[in-house]
Structure 1
Amino acid sequence: MHTCPVAATIGTLLGLSAIGLSAPVAQAAQHDEPVVVAHRGASAYAPENTLAAVDKADDLGITWVENDVQRTKDGELVVMHDTNLTRTTNVEDVFPDRAPWKVSDFTLAEIKKLDAGSWFSAEYRNERVPTLEQYLDEVEDNDQRLLLELKAPELYPGIELQTLDELKREGWLNRTHVSRKLIVQSFNADSVRTVHTLRSDVKTGFLGTPAVADLPKYAEFSDQINPNHGSVTPDYVDAVHAVKGVHGKPFELFTWTVNDVSTAARLADMGVDGIITNTPDTVRDATER
C-alpha cells in the first residue's frame, strides 16, 4: 500500500499509522510542500512581533517571518499586532491615565519605555517593541524573508507610501528583495490596491476569503489570497489557483493560523502554497516531503 509522506510524518509524530488517518490526509499529494511562515515571528516560543521572535524563528531554521506594521502618534512605524498596547506590553502600569492605550496615541519615545516581553515570560523581560527599521534589519541580518502586514491601515492614512519608503531606505525594494524576499498583505483591499499602484513590482496578498466569483477583481492588484484555515476547502484552493494574479501567475494561497500537525498536513494535501503558524517547526515537520 502506498503511503503519503505527509501521512507518514503525522504517524511518526503522533504514534499513529497512516491507515487510521482520514482519506484526504492519506492521499498522495503531487504538489510542492507549502512555505512555512512564522506568525509574528516564532510566537509560540518568544513574544510576538519582537526581535526575539524573529531570532527564534531563525534558530528553528525558518526562512519566512510575518509581522504587523502600525504608526505612532509622532509618525513612526512600529511592529505591533493589536491597535492598542495593553495585551503585549505593560503600558497600563507605565501610563495608567492614558486609556484606551491606542498605538496611535503614543509617541515612539513613549512606546520605547514599554516592556513587550514580560507578559510572555520572565526570560523576555524588557524586550522592546521594535520599529519597522529595527525589524527589517534583524530579518536582513538573519537572511530571512518577510510577509509584512499593514495592520488596520484605515487608521493610518498614507501608511502604504510610508511603509514602502521605509522598505526602500532599508534596501528591501531592490530586485533581489522584491523578487524573492518580500510580500505585503492586508485585510483592507483598498490598501493592497494602493501598494500595487505605488509599487507594481511588489508582491501583494489579500487577507480574507473572497467569493470565487469575486476573485478576478482581486487579481487586478494582488498575487495571493490568504484566508483563515477554517474557510479553506479543496474546491476553494482549486478555484484560487485557477485565477491568475496581477503579475500573470496563478494566485497563491497562504492560510493562517495553523499550529497542529493534522491540520497542517490536511491543508498541505489540499495544495495550499503557504501556512502561517505560531509553531513553525511543528508545521514544517508535518508538511516536509
Structure 2
Amino acid sequence: MSGGMMTNRIAVLGAGVGLAVSAVVMSVGSAQAGADRAVVVGHRGSPGQAPEETAASYERALAEGAQVLEADVQLTSDGRLVLVHDDTLARTTDVETVYPDRSPWRVGQFTLDEIKRLDAGSWFDSRYKGQRVATLQDLLRINRGRAGLTLELKSPANSPGVATKLAQELNAAKLTDGATLKSGAYRVHVHSRDEAALREFHAAAPKVQLSYLSGGAMLSDADLDRLSGWTVSVYAHPRVTSAADVKRAHAKGLKVVSDPVDSPKEIGMAVNQGYDWVVTNFPETVRRVLDKRKETFRDARGVVVDSVFPDPGGDDVQPETGEHVVLRNTTSRAVAVGGGYLRDQAGNLLTIGAGYTIPPGSLLRVYVGPGTNRPGAYYNGRTAGFLNNTGGDTISYFGPDHALLDIGSYMVP
C-alpha cells in the first residue's frame, strides 16, 4: 500500500466479475468496529522504527502489538516471492553499489540469491546494517501464525504469474482456509489494484478473502455495490472521509480499512469514524491510542511536531526559507533536542544539530535545504525536497537515543 494518501481511482468492474468469495463476510453490525475492536495492521511491519519489509520490521511490529502484518509481494527472475514495495530495489537497498551496471534495478531483474546479497537496512539506520530483503517464507517463519497477513499483489505486470505462485505457497503452508482470527483479522487477506491478478489468485485459492485496493476518498455507492459482490473491504483515508461514508460502506457489507495513519490525531479520526482496520507505520502508537493510554508516547519530553511547511513559494530547498518542520516546546523549561532527528513516511531523514535547545514555550525550525544556522533554526543543507508524498505526509520526531517522542501529520489541499 502507498505511504501517502492515494489518488482515488475507481475501477469499473464488469458485471461478469464472478469472484465468489466463499468465506462469509462479517455482518454489518460486527463490522462497525469502534475503538475497542479496531484491528491494528503493521504497514510493511513497523517501518517508522525499522527498515520496511525486513525481519527487523516485522519482528518489531509483532512486539508492538500488530494484529495483522502487511507486505508487498513480487517475483524474482527465478520465480521466488520477495517482499518489496517499490518497483525497483534502489530506495531500500544498496543495489546501485553492488550491481552498478544493472539499472534500473527492477526486482524482477535479479535472482533471489542476488537479492539476498543486498543490505536492506543501512539506508534506514546503521543499526540495521545487514538486514536482508525478506521472502514470503521468511515472513511466515517470523509470524508463526501469531498475526493475520494482508498481502498485496504488487505491480503484477512486472511479475507475471505472481498471483498463482502466491496461492501455491499459501496452499502449501495450509493458510488458505479463509479463517478469521479472534482479533477480527483474517488469517490471510490478499489485495491489489489489479483486478485480473485478484481473479487469478482467486482461481487457485478461492477461500481467501480479497480486496480491490482503492484509497483516499470513499467510493461512490455504485462502486461499493460492484465491490461488495466479490471483496470484503474498501480502503480510504479518514482525512477525506466522514462517519457517514464509513456507514455507506458498512451498509454494503464491506469493512473499511485505513490508508496508513500514524499521528494520534489521524488514528483517532479513523477510530471515531468507525474504521474496522487501522493501518499504520507505528503499531505501538495505535495500540496506545486504542488503549487510551495517558501518554501516547511513553518517552515524550515536552517537544512536539507543531507544524509543517512542505511547499513554500519557490524552490523547496531555496536558501534560508525553504520547506521545514517546526518543533515546539510545550513546557516551561528548556529542552535539549540536539542530536535528535525527523523522518517522513518514506523514511527520509532530517537531523538536528548538536547542542540545540528549545527555550520554554518556543519554536525550532528544522529546514531541509541550506541556510545560516541560528538558535531558532537548523539547516540540513539537502539539495532535494523532503516532504514529497502526494496529499500529505507524517513526520515522526525521535531523540538522539532513537526514542519516539511525537508524530505529526499534515494534509496538502
**What's the TM-score bracket when you normalise by the shorter of the two chains?**
0.7 to 0.9
Counterpart CA distance in 2 for 1:154 and 1:126 is 30
Letter of the 2:194 partner, please give it.
Answer: N
Greater helix fraction, Structure 1 or Structure 2: 1
Task: Please name the residue that 2:260 is paired with.
Answer: 257
Mapped contact 2:171–2:205 kept (Cα < 8 A): no
**2:95 aligned residue (91, 96, 102):** 91
- Render the CA deviation track for 1:249-283: whole Å, top value 9, x for unaligned: x2111111100001111111100001110011111
- Match status 1:148 vs 2:157: no
Greater strand fraction, Structure 1 or Structure 2: 2
| TM-score normalised to structure 1 length | 0.82
Q: SS at 2:144's partner residue?
A: helix
| TM-score normalised to structure 2 length | 0.58
Task: Please name the residue that 1:105 is paired with.
Answer: 109
Task: Please name the residue that 1:236 is paired with.
Answer: 245
Greater relative contact order (Cα < 8 A, sep 6+): 1
Segments of structure 2 that go 5 or more residues without pairing to the other structure are 1-32, 293-413
Task: Please name the residue that 1:40 is paired with.
Answer: 44
Mapped contact 1:33–1:268 kept (Cα < 8 A): no
Counterpart CA distance in 2 for 1:102 and 1:84 is 4
Deviation at 1:149, TM superposition (A): 1.0
Task: Please name the residue that 1:7 is paired with.
Answer: none
- Aligned Cα root-mean-square deviation (Å): 2.0
Segments of structure 1 that go 5 or more residues without pairing to the other structure are 1-28, 244-249
Distance 1:81-1:40 versus aligned 2 partners, 3 A rule: same
Larger Rg: 2
Task: Please name the residue that 2:174 is paired with.
Answer: 171
Identity of matched residues, %: 35
Distance 1:51-1:192 versus aligned 2 partners, 3 A rule: same
Counterpart CA distance in 2 for 1:177 and 1:94 is 42
Distance 1:219-1:194 versus aligned 2 partners, 3 A rule: farther
Counterpart CA distance in 2 for 1:193 and 1:217 is 15
Letter of the 2:103 partner, please give it.
Answer: A
Counterpart CA distance in 2 for 1:107 and 1:220 is 38
Deviation at 1:188, TM superposition (A): 1.9
Instruction: Report matched runs for 1:3-22 at 5 Å.
Output: none
Task: Please name the residue that 2:232 is paired with.
Answer: 223
Mapped contact 1:229–1:257 kept (Cα < 8 A): no
Counterpart CA distance in 2 for 1:114 and 1:30 is 42
Task: Please name the residue that 1:199 is paired with.
Answer: 205
Distance 1:166-1:110 versus aligned 2 partners, 3 A rule: same
Number of matched pairs: 254
Counterpart CA distance in 1 for 2:180 and 2:55 is 20
